Amino acid sequence: MAAAGRQLHRRHGDDREMGMGGGGRLLCPAQRHGLGGFRSLAQPGRTRAIRRRGPGGTRRIPGACELDGQRDHRAGGQQAGDGGVRRGAAFLVAATYPHGAPAGHLSAYADFPTSDRCLVLGAGGFIGTNLCLALRARGVPVTGFGRSARPAVLDDIDWVRGSLDATPWDRRLERLVGGHAHVFDLIGAGLPNSSNDNPAQIVADAVPAKVRLLEACRVAGVRRYLFASSGGTVYGVTGTQPVAEDTPTEPISAYGIGKLVVEKYLSLYRHLYGLESRTLRIANAYGPFQESRNGQGLVAALLRRLLADQPVEIWGDGRIVRDYIHIDDVVDAMLACLVHEGPGRVFNVGSGTGRSVAEVIADAARVTGRSPRLIRREPRGADVPVNILDSSRLMREAQWAPRTSWEAGLASTAEWIARSG
């Protein structure tokens, strides 16, 4: 790309080097903030430091919280859990976002509730970490809740360490949610494919814990409950694509059934007690902070294995089609639902474009410049053949739209994985 043809293109908080031909490569956070020293996978040997002013400092919320006698001390540079945030990755984000992660296009929401404290359940995981960073950048006071120690990248938010399924219903749950205007529930219940090995476990463990949590929210006066459901599992095998929210739900995994049960309890609590909620049926999210464990997260697993010159496992013939959406767009959808006042209560969150496993492998190989070595496994019973989401309801009612292209998102994710180690 000729120097004369370069321009800085800003869209949705991303900094992108653009050529006159309209192409471009997404710059990693280190490049955006002037750290430099990163080699693009798409253009080896080419780097350009671009400095960008941060969104302003966020006040430090002192102290750690306690639940069931477990106190979480300052994470500092330690290895963090609940999503496997690695030390290198933690250092990268802490260094590149010293004043908090960019707030993206959220400034469009003039009435965004920056004074309302939010509780993020599952805050140390993939979606939770990115959501907490976005809330913090927006100046929203946040409390994170997770099974493991506070990730170093979230060192300046309150943290409660515990487990909902291990917490009996008493005043402790009410104390956990008390003082929070909004609750983001990102806690999953097992994995889609393994859930069919013991279907009763979903009902025995996850559902009672969620109902106890909803009861605590009712007692504590929580104003809005935002639930991360699963757009990839609740619909099952459908006759038409893409699927809209009013498509009949016939999940083929206990995991998907468990998500639907929670959705129905949310509807019940709104009917009985007026507890406002929004359900987000999220497609296959990918991006920074995603770990590839237990067969989940195809994009992260694929990129990590390619970059490490390891073989890639696939189940079936590679024809399974999924809707992949970048985590930035997922977080934006969550925050849009936080201020949403329209009639909808359940929303699909997807790109609207389907890609087969074989296509994803080919694109990842192109981005990394590595040739994949495939190990083929037997198809899994919980995998639906095709799943593409129609997100037009969210677009219409909340003025949301996915803004990260597949090409840019895949390239930036590969860069992040390479940098984080």
Residues serving a catalytic function are: 255
Tokens of 271: 């009917």
Tokens of 49: 């430091």
d(CA 106, CA 20): 29
- Report DSSP state, residue 178: T
- Listing DSSP states for 281-337 in one string gives EE-EEESTT----TT--HHHHHHHHHHTT--EEEESSS--EEEEEEHHHHHHHHHHH
Tokens of 286: 């990918």
Name residues whose C-beta falls within 8 Å of residue 119's C-beta, 6 or more positions apart in sequence.
142, 143, 145, 176, 177, 180, 182, 183, 184
d(CA 179, CA 217): 10
Residue (of 387, 64, 399) closest to 247 by Cα position: 387
d(CA 205, CA 286): 27
- Report DSSP state, residue 248: P
d(CA 337, CA 400): 9
C-alpha distances in Å from residue 310, one per residue of 84, 115, 307, 420? 20, 47, 8, 17
The upper half-sphere exposure of residue 14, i.e. CA atoms within 13 Å in the direction of its Cβ, equals 22
